Amino acid sequence: MKKIIVHIVLLFACFKASAQTDSSVVVQQKENKVAFKASLPPLTQIPGAPKPFYTYLWDFGDGHFSTEENPEHVYAKEGDYEAVLYAVNNYDDGKKPGRKPKKVAVKQVNKTYLAAVSPSEQNFFKANGFFELKYNCMAKPGDTMVLMAGWKNDVAVNGKVYLFINEKQFGQNSFDTAGFRLYNDAMLINDKNAIASVRSFDQLLLTSSGSPASHFKEEKKFSGVESKTFLMNTLKSYSNVFAVDIKQATTDAQFMFTNLYVTPGMIKDTNATIVITGLFVPDTGGVYMHQLNIPIVTSHDPNKMNLKQGRLNYRTLKKSKSLSYKIRFQNDGEGPARKIKLAITLPSAMDPQTISIKDMSPYCLPCDSVATRTGCWELVTNKDSAAFIFNGIYLPGTNQKGVNDKDSTKGFVEFDVKTKRKLDNLPFKGRTAIYFDKNEPVITNFATGKFKPALSPIVMAGYEMNLGTNGLSDGVNVGVGIARLAPYKPYFQFELFGKYYQTTTAQQTFQTQGVVVIDGKNYDYRGYREQLRSSITRIGLVPLHLRYNFNDLLSAGAGVRVDADFAGSVDTSRTYLLNNFNGQLNVPYDLTKNSSIKIFSNAQFLPFVDAQFGKVRLGPQIGTRFYYGGTNKSYLYFYASWRL
């Protein structure tokens, strides 16, 4: 009996779990009219963050979609459909809900139900009216996102859609494709060289967008050979190309959905913006290219400060550098925001007085040109910060009744600002406090600028002075090194030295007996005089050298140098005093021998300390270095060097 009860409990638990899984999307259906509702996990309030909320993308399984929370959809044909919900948790550190599929069986079509496209479909084509890309969330490493492509034409023609993914400039794949959802008999072309079959065309219209869309249309037209050249150059900058063959020509809008997995190893720079490019090539007429800018994030937070092109090259950096920032925000309230203040804290090297506003959303005029000072913007600056203020605007809230287009609740400000001095080769940060009316501020991420890693070659030359009695002779010592470019933190430096020297020892007399062979005969000697002449190339390797620049003019370091003979020869000259040579006593006989230096012989370790004065970060310096080798083999090195 006990076992039966256990089996019943387990069976009920499994049935309940299955029911919960299936009930994550609930539908109410009347023939071909279906109402959708989602049951999602509760959201957790992050301390200090706005109230969390979900955003929705419903793919109804027939080529139509909606971004409403509880949409209603009318299917035009009978059939079995798989609707999918993609939900995104905003201001919530929990895991984003996975895709929620739901089977919908339409057995009968009631033509009295009028099929109407959702507001999100109606507002899809804002860039050029014919072809556009959008995403349902920003790129978070280790997460998934949906890329939507939509197209339509004035004339019903078939064609092809191409997606260019994974820019080569980042050196690694940012996305892996996790499946395509295609409709209206569209088919994925598996030919890797499909782009080579793009038909000839004379006109190409390029547009770009982000979220929310810019007030100013970002478009450029190409014609003739220029259009084909631009396409080929764009293609070269991407690692992956996907092609879709479009069927069932119609003038109505069509859509496809691409699931993208954001790789955990993608670039960690949350100031970077990834660009996905789409190409729409109808069988006749002009060609449309759209570039979608996707910010990288660490959490699904619509309030974000971003530094465009935040990876700088220090070598090409000028004293006055113009940098571009973009601040995104979203009103998550239950009503509209009428005043929005962006309190911007900039890095100390920036000059707020040079801020130039490039674009904004919602778009309005400067308050200086509006008599009532409402429905306008103003900029207030001081020494190291600025405040951008929207006065008397209307920005809907995500929880406001009747608001279905989530993009309408978003805004942004884009501006340029110049540096007042050359930036140090260190990361620099800025952030923004966003005030919606009189609510507590929302603090954005740090918009961090960084410099691309680079190395600085070093050339050195100087005079090395022997302080001991058994060391090498004084002489010129030249070297090369390499270190981090313009370092501000403690850093390691690698060096290689070379020194050529010649020495001649004083002649010494040895009173000893022996035999020397002359013309095949042995002759006795009672002593000899000897002198050594050496010509040696010696190398020094510095595998460990830690340095620190105290300021722009003074630097110090410590490390160890390993010295060894690398090449050369030693001539040994002896004069023997023969005891009996043809009856003569103490006859001198000269004999010279030559021997080669054994490579890496006579090695020694020399710890050292070093000090430099000059342009120690980048440029010329002078320095001195003391090598300690005990009482007999210590050196003092005076040198000049240049960091290139």
493-544 pLDDT, tens digit each: 999 998 887 778 888 888 888 888 888 888 888 888 888 888 888 888 999 9
Q: Which CATH number fits domain 455-643: 1.10.3470, 2.40.160, 1.10.10, 3.40.1350?
A: 2.40.160
- CA 90 vs. chain centroid, Å, equals 24
pLDDT band at 216, cuts 50/70/90?
low
Mean pLDDT of 431-443: 89
Question: Could you read off the pLDDT of 32-91 as tens digits, one per residue?
Answer: 999 999 988 888 877 666 778 888 999 999 999 999 889 999 999 999 999 999 999 887
pLDDT band at 266, cuts 50/70/90?
low
**Domain ranges within the chain, ordered by starting residue:** 24-120, 124-295, 304-450, 455-643
Cα separation, 271 vs 619, in Å, equals 31
Residue 476: predicted pLDDT: 86
Residue 21: predicted pLDDT: 35
Look at the pTM and tell me if it is higher than 0.75. Answer: no
Cα separation, 379 vs 395, in Å, equals 19
Helix/strand/coil for 368: helix
Cα separation, 6 vs 532, in Å, equals 99
- CA 244 vs. chain centroid, Å, equals 30
Helix/strand/coil for 229: helix
Mean pLDDT of 247-270: 81
Mean pLDDT of 219-242: 89
In whole numbers, what is the pLDDT of the chain averaged over residues? 85
Asked: is 124-295 a CATH 3.40.50.800 domain? The reply is: no
Residue 214: predicted pLDDT: 67
24-120 and 455-643 agree in CATH topology? no
Query: Would you say how long the chain is, in residues?
Result: 644
Cα separation, 601 vs 603, in Å, equals 5
Residue 517: predicted pLDDT: 86
Cα separation, 557 vs 612, in Å, equals 9
Which 3-state string (H, E, C) describes 618-640?
CEEEEEEEEECCCCCCCEEEEEE
Residue spans of beta strands (DSSP E) within 92-218: 100-106, 131-135, 144-151, 159-167, 175-181, 187-189, 203-209
Q: Is the pLDDT of residue 15 over 50?
A: no
- Please state which CATH number belongs to domain 24-120: 2.60.40.10
Inter-residue contact 142 to 264 (CB < 8 Å): yes
Question: Could you read off the pLDDT of 299-358 as tens digits, one per residue?
Answer: 667 888 888 877 888 888 888 899 999 999 988 888 899 999 999 999 989 999 999 999
Asked: is 304-450 a CATH 2.60.40.740 domain? The reply is: yes
